[in-house]
Structures are given as structure tokens and as C-alpha cells.
């Protein structure tokens, strides 16, 4: 889970890049960076922390240039705490700045390939081997003065060699012109959009909200399997590289993306609303009844409102979220852990006491937080406590860029699918658990989606060795 913004304009870009990046801070809080191209020179500032910590306002003085890339990082591979792993990355030969969102699954193989030709990977971030493969493939075609044809062939080689899911932005010189290049793997698993300001500037970003805040108009999603060339004052050039077979990540729309973003041609908020309506149908089929619907903030709110409307049950904001707690320490005992949860999410007693309640959430991963929420609400003496989830049960890990624990740690993976609701209700201490069915999910999001964390159908096969390497990385971070 990461977020990027790339921009090319007639004016210096650093200020607007950082403004747009703030809109997608939710995509990564561990590190941030910005790099610009000024004449033939590159400038870069990156560090650990939130954008404001990693790129202080004073740094803007050193970030001249009319093209650049900014990035926020939430690592799915690599060390969690080194500045060297923050993006963007750059190469001097040829001069490229690059950042991506996604997960490369065959990093060890790429590192070995690159080393055999004298290219050394210095960080533990998968963007670096991706960048080096692109640079290597460009140089193989011509040492410098790369053409559009060279670029298309190099990206085709990246698609062949670099496995996994990735959306990429890069700044480099193509046909002698400074160019913002964007490409998205043929399955388009990770999101990406592009747009213009009507005055010759172009932007590509992980989510459309980045374009909104900078005053840009969205033109569309980055096309899977294509490379896009964006140059100031010119129309975009779209070039097909590999036949697209789009399978965008549905979890983005369920949980990760901002509700005001437009993704795969639909507003995320609307998708969540429709998921809630479908869930209401499935909940009603069970013949249960309730007095009040309460979302777990923030993601599930539109779905909870839609459920309430469909079921004709009142809805209330039953939890107040404290947005200023930051990271809390791991607490040693149950009482302390409950206190920590209350600090983050405090329930309003009247909405639960003596009520038959439906708690609505986007997903259950480990189940630890939901178990604590259920236990906290139980103390308020509700008459009944039901849990409704706007996605199917998460039973498989993600290898394509969303940070998830290994299969053994996924709560729902411990039970056969036909028993999962009953077993999870027992595990959480709820009166019932209702997951959205796979059919309902597809009725809302369509058939052409990645839903591998629900159904185990991985669009890019992940070998046992690759799975083990990713598991090891995640274990290494204690996640």
C-alpha cells in the first residue's frame, strides 16, 4: 500500500506535488519523499514519517524543477524503518526518477539477474530492482538518447521480467524531451489515474483525490498493459505494450481508497453504498431483527447508511474516533489493551444499552480489533449484538501490495467456508456474523476484479518460494 503523484508542468512542481500528496497520506504513513528534475539535474528529499516530517516546508527551496514525483510509503516488502527504502528512487545512467505502488513478488530473482550484469541493489524496497530493470532494458537498446520505441520495448521487458502487481510513474528524457511516463501492469491490480490542469500540465496519481486538490481534471485510469507519455503542453500519448486483462484490486474500493476518489470509473463512496445495500438483502434473508445500525469508523460508514435505509432501521454514529492518538504502545494486559481501544474509539453508551445492534465494518483480518470492540460494547449491555461485514471473509493473504498477515494469522482462514460465519460469531463473542457473499461482491464490482484475498484466485501466480520470501519479510517486521 503506497501512493504516488507524478507531475510535469510549465512552472515549478514541488509545491503542488506535495499538496497532492497530502490528499493520499492515508496510503502510507511510514515514509515520504519527493524528487524533481531541474534541467539535467535531480533533487530529492525523502525520509521516514508522515509527509510533514519527511519533507519539511524548508526543503521546497531545494526542489526546483518543472517535473517531479512524490511518494508515500506503507511497506509491503523491505525494512520498515530505514530512510534508504523510501521512494522515489533514481538512476544516473540513464537519468530516471521512479516510484511505484504495488508489490514485486520475484525480487530475489531480479537481484540475482541484475548482479550478474554488475547492477547492485542497495535498498530493500522493491521499487529499486524495478527501476534498475527498466534502466538496464533501456541501455540494452541504446546507451543514451532513448526513443519512444526503446521505452515501449523496455516496458514490455519489465512486464516479462518483473512479476507481481505495480503502477509506476517515472521522469526521464524520451526523444530528447522531458517526459512523465506512467505504466500499469497488464492486470491493472493497483490503481492509478491521470489528468490535466487545462494549461498544459499533467499529473498521474494513485487516486483521483490527489488531482482534485491540485485543481486537475481526471481524464481516466492509467490503462493496464500500456505506457503513457505525458509532456507539458502536448496531448498524452498512449502506447499498447501487452494485451490487458484487467483485474483491479477490489479491496481498494472496499477499504483502502478514499471514498471521494473515482476508481475504475466509479466513485468509491458509491461502491461502498451499493455493497451496503447488497449486505442488507443478505442480512434480511437470515430473518434477524435489530433496532440500530452503527458503523465502525470510517470506511464502512456509507455501507452502514445504505443498510439502514434498505432495512428501515435507524443509524447512529455510535463510536467517536480519536484522530490524534498516533501509534499506541503494545499493552501488556487485557485491561490496558481495552483502555487503548477506548482511547481510539469511544462508544456512546445510549446507542448500545438495551438495543439490538448491528455493527458494520469493512473486513475482518486478524479479528483482534473486532473482538475487542465486541467485548467493549458487551459491557454496555446491548440486547443483541450482530456483526455485518461489507466484504466476504478474508481467508488468503495478499501478495500484490496490501499489507496483510500470513494465512495462519487470518481469523477466517481457520474455518471451513460453510461454517465461517458461525465460527467467527463464537470467536468474536457476537450473536451473529454476516459476511457479504462473493456473488453480491461481484454484482457490485463486476467479474473482472482481483478478489484473491477472499477466494484465493491469484491472477499472477505466486510460487511457494515467492510466498515464503514475502512471509519472511513480513515476519521480519513483526506484523
Distance CA 444, CA 423 (A): 27
CB of 84 to ligand SF4, least distance (A): 26
189 binds ligand SF4, rule: CB under 6 A: yes
DSSP string, 257-301: S-TT-EETTEEHHHHHHHHHHHHHHHHHHTT---SEEEEPTTTTH
453 binds ligand SF4, rule: CB under 6 A: yes
**Applying CB under 6 A, what is the total number of residues that bind ligand SF4?**
11
Q: CA end-to-end span of the chain, whole Å? A: 14
How far is C-alpha 264 from the geometric centre of its chain's CA atoms? 14
In the numeric block, the cell 455493527 is attached to 359
402 binds ligand SF4, rule: CB under 6 A: yes
Closer to ligand SF4 by CB, 279 or 452: give it: 452
Closer to ligand SF4 by CB, 291 or 455: give it: 455
424 binds ligand SF4, rule: CB under 6 A: no
Q: What is the DSSP letter of 226?
A: E
450 binds ligand SF4, rule: CB under 6 A: yes
- From the list 49-57, 340-348, 438-446, 448-456, the region that binds ligand SF4 by CB under 6 A is 448-456
With beta carbons less than 8 A apart as the criterion, state whether 450 and 247 touch: yes
Contact pattern for ligand SF4 over residues 138 through 177, marking x by CB under 6 A:
----------------------------------------
In the numeric block, the cell 508522515 is attached to 50
CB of 107 to ligand SF4, least distance (A): 17
Provide long-range contacts, Cβ within 8 A and 24+ apart, for 461-465.
462/105, 462/399
In the numeric block, the cell 537519468 is attached to 95
**Helix, strand or coil for residue 242?**
coil
* Helix 301-311, helix 268-285: angle, nearest 10: 40
Distance CA 231, CA 229 (A): 7
- For the record, the C-alpha cell of 390 comes out as 461489507
280 binds ligand SF4, rule: CB under 6 A: no
Residues contacting residue 315 through CB under 8 Å, at least 6 positions apart: 292, 293, 294, 295, 304, 305, 307, 308
CB of 359 to ligand SF4, least distance (A): 22
State the pairing for strand pair 202-205/193-196: antiparallel
Residue tagged active-site, from 2, 125, 450, 453: 2
Selection from 28, 51, 113, 5 nearest residue 401 by Cα: 28
Closer to ligand SF4 by CB, 44 or 189: give it: 189
| Cβ neighbours around 119 below 10 Å, total | 18
CB of 39 to ligand SF4, least distance (A): 39
CB of 5 to ligand SF4, least distance (A): 21
* Of positions 54, 168, 170, 249, contacts ligand SF4 by CB under 6 A: 249
- From the list 116-124, 284-292, 449-457, 462-470, the region that binds ligand SF4 by CB under 6 A is 449-457
CB of 255 to ligand SF4, least distance (A): 8
With beta carbons less than 8 A apart as the criterion, state whether 64 and 45 touch: no
Contact pattern for ligand SF4 over residues 56 through 95, marking x by CB under 6 A:
----------------------------------------
With beta carbons less than 8 A apart as the criterion, state whether 386 and 431 touch: yes
* Of positions 104, 451, 460, 470, contacts ligand SF4 by CB under 6 A: 451
State the pairing for strand pair 384-389/432-435: parallel
Closer to ligand SF4 by CB, 398 or 444: give it: 398
Closer to ligand SF4 by CB, 33 or 248: give it: 248
Closer to ligand SF4 by CB, 33 or 75: give it: 75
204 binds ligand SF4, rule: CB under 6 A: no
183 binds ligand SF4, rule: CB under 6 A: no
Closer to ligand SF4 by CB, 45 or 263: give it: 263
200-209 burial, b at 16+ Cβ within 10 Å, e below that, comes to: ebbbbbbbbb
Distance CA 362, CA 293 (A): 14
250 binds ligand SF4, rule: CB under 6 A: yes
251 binds ligand SF4, rule: CB under 6 A: yes
Closer to ligand SF4 by CB, 189 or 360: give it: 189
- From the list 80-88, 365-373, 396-404, 408-416, the region that binds ligand SF4 by CB under 6 A is 396-404
Annotated active-site residue 453? The verdict is: no
Which parts of this chain interact with ligand SF4 (CB under 6 A)? 189, 249-251, 398, 400, 402, 450-453
Catalytic residue numbers, as ranges: 2
Amino acid at each position: 500500500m503506497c501512493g504516488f503523484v507524478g507531475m510535469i508542468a510549465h512552472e515549478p512542481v514541488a509545491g503542488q506535488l506535495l499538496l497532492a500528496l497530502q490528499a493520499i497520506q492515508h496510503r502510507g504513513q511510514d515514509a515520504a519523499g519527493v524528487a524533481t528534475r531541474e534541467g539535467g539535474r535531480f533533487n530529492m528529499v525523502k525520509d521516514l514519517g508522515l509527509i510533514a516530517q519527511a519533507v519539511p516546508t524548508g526543503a521546497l527551496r531545494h526542489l526546483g524543477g518543472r517535473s517531479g514525483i512524490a511518494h508515500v510509503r506503507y511497506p509491503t516488502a523491505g525494512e520498515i524503518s530505514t530512510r534508504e527504502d523510501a521512494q522515489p528512487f533514481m538512476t544516473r545512467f540513464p537519468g530516471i526518477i521512479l516510484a511505484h505502488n504495488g508489490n514485486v513478488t520475484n525480487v530475489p530473482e531480479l537481484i540475482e539477474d541484475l548482479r550478474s550484469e554488475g547492477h547492485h541493489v542497495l535498498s530493500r524496497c522493491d521499487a529499486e530492482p524495478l527501476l534498475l530493470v527498466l534502466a538496464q532494458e533501456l541501455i540494452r537498446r541504446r546507451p543514451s538518447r532513448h526513443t519512444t520505441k526503446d521505452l515501449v520495448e523496455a516496458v514490455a521487458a519489465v512486464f516479462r521480467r518483473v512479476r507481481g502487481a505495480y503502477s509506476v510513474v517515472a521522469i526521464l528524457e524520451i526523444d530528447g524531451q522531458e517526459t512523465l511516463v506512467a505504466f500499469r501492469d497488464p492486470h491493472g491490480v493497483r490503481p492509478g489515474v491521470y489528468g490535466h490542469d487545462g494549461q498544459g500540465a499533467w499529473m498521474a496519481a494513485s487516486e483521483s483525490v490527489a488531482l482534485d486538490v491540485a485543481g486537475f481534471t481526471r481524464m481516466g485510469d492509467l490503462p493496464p498493459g500500456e505506457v503513457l507519455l505525458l509532456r507539458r503542453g502536448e496531448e498524452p500519448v498512449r502506447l499498447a505494450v501487452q494485451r490487458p486483462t484487467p483485474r483491479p484490486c477490489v479491496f481498494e474500493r472496499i477499504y483502502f481508497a478514499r471514498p471521494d476518489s473515482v476508481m475504475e470509473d466509479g466513485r468509491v463512496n458509491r461502491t461502498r453504498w451499493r455493497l451496503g445495500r447488497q449486505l442488507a438483502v443478505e442480512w434480511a434473508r437470515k430473518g434477524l431483527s435489530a433496532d440500530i445500525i452503527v458503523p465502525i469508523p470510517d470506511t464502512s460508514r456509507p455501507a452502514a447508511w445504505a443498510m439502514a435505509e434498505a432495512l428501515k432501521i435507524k443509524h447512529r454514529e455510535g463510536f467517536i474516533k480519536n484522530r490524534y492518538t498516533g501509534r499506541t504502545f503494545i499493552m501488556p494486559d487485557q485491561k490496558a489493551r481495552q483502555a487503548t481501544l477506548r482511547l481510539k474509539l469511544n462508544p456512546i453508551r445510549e446507542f448500545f444499552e438495551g438495543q439490538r445492534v448491528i455493527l458494520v465494518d469493512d473486513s475482518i483480518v486478524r479479528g483482534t480489533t473486532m473482538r475487542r470492540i465486541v467485548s467493549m460494547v458487551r459491557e454496555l449491555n446491548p440486547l443483541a449484538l450482530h456483526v455485518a461485514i461489507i466484504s466476504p471473509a478474508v481467508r488468503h493473504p495478499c501478495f500484490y501490495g496490501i499489507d496483510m498477515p500470513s494465512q495462519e494469522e487470518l481469523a477466517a482462514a481457520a474455518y471451513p467456508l460453510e461454517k465461517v460465519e458461525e465460527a467467527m460469531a463464537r470467536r468474536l463473542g457476537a450473536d451473529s456474523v454476516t459476511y457479504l457473499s462473493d456473488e453480491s461482491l461481484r454484482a457490485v464490482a463486476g467479474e473482472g476484479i482481483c478478489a484473491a484475498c477472499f477466494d484465493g484466485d491469484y491472477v499472477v501466480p505466486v510460487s511457494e518460494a515467492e510466498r515464503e520470501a514475502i512471509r519472511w519479510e513480513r515476519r521480519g517486521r513483526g506484523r
